[in-house]
Structure 1
Amino acid sequence: MNANAPVDFQQHYLSTWTEPNPDQRRHIIEQLWAPEGKLVISSLGITLRGTAEIAAHIARVHDDMIMSKGLVFSYDQQLPADDALLLRWSMAAPSGDVVGRGVDVVFRNADGQVTTVYMFMGVN
């Protein structure tokens, strides 16, 4: 794995959540995720399958957390391991105060597409 690949990937992955244009965001999701991708969100106890379900969930999060509340998401730690990448993220209020943290463990196929993400919220 190229040393720059995780950083490039994390920026691209973050844009699936933060891109303001819904059509562009959906396009990024369809490029980045494998069609049969799976997003498991521990705190909600849900598993989303396929890019349509994943895109719908991300759209709700974007509207509820980013647009409505002005929260800013960023990655502050990444650890690559073969086909997996751990991304620790922080969620900051408009004041700059961190109001939440979590970890995404991202698995990718040989083509670099996301196959599975395990999302854990409430991580310090």
Structure 2
Amino acid sequence: MPTQEIQEIAVPDAQELSHRYTSVWNEPDSERRRQLIGELWAEDGVQLLQPPEAVVATASALGVTPTFEVRGHAALENRVTLAYEEFVAPGKHVFRTRPDAVALAGVVKFHWEMVSLADGEPVGGGLEFLVLDGDGRIRTDYQFIG
């Protein structure tokens, strides 16, 4: 059986990358947020999101599979900014990384939580599955909320 060669990918420390990732979503300064997005994601990086259950049900009834996709720095900046404005800017929540990040051959996986600032309790969260490019930047970001 032929063996497949795994491409060498510059993988940063998985936990450190997960902290950098969630810090983007908490960043109040729009210029700094733009800079962080450029540092984390490849120029043509993409985020694929698991749609809400209502969207999945509607799509299923139509016989299609829904996918939410955000591609490129400008679209990613818009996505992150909207999430910041909805969840963080009002002063009620903050995003944080759980201490479970792992890396394997150019892929990083970790969980995150949205936490209430009132009591520190998680009110939401999800799983990130990041596929990195040769420079260690995010090429594809799979986000599973729930």
TM-score (norm 1): 0.89
1:25 to partner: Cα distance: 0.6
| Structure 1 letter corresponding to 2:111 | R
Aligned match of 1:53:
75
For 1:116, the aligned partner's letter is T
C-alpha distance in 2 between matches for 1:100 and 1:65: 11
Tell me the residue number matched to 2:85: 63
- Aligned pairs for 1:84-95 (under 5 A) are 84-94=107-117, 95=119
Unpaired runs of 5+ in structure 2?
1-8, 53-66
CA RMSD in angstroms comes to 1.9
The answer as to 2:129 corresponding to 1:105 is yes
The size of the alignment, in residue pairs, is 122
Runs of 4+ in 1 over 4 A off after TM superposition: 1-4
CA distance in 1, matches of 2:11, 2:108: 12
User: What is the match of residue 51 of structure 2?
Assistant: 43
Q: Percent identity at matched positions?
A: 24
Structure (1/2) with the larger strand percentage: 1
Q: Deviations over 1:76-106 (max 9, x none)?
A: 1212111111110111112212111200101
* Larger RCO (alpha carbons 8 Å, 6+ apart): 2
Q: Deviations over 1:97-120 (max 9, x none)?
A: 211120010111110111000000
Structure 1 unmatched runs, 5+: none
User: TM-score, normalization: structure 2?
Assistant: 0.77
Distance 1:116 1:27 in 2: 18
Larger Rg: 2
Alignment of 1:3-14 (within 5 A): 5-14=13-22
Aligned to 1:101, the other structure's residue is in SS state: strand
Distance change in 2, residues 1:69/1:46 (3 Å): farther
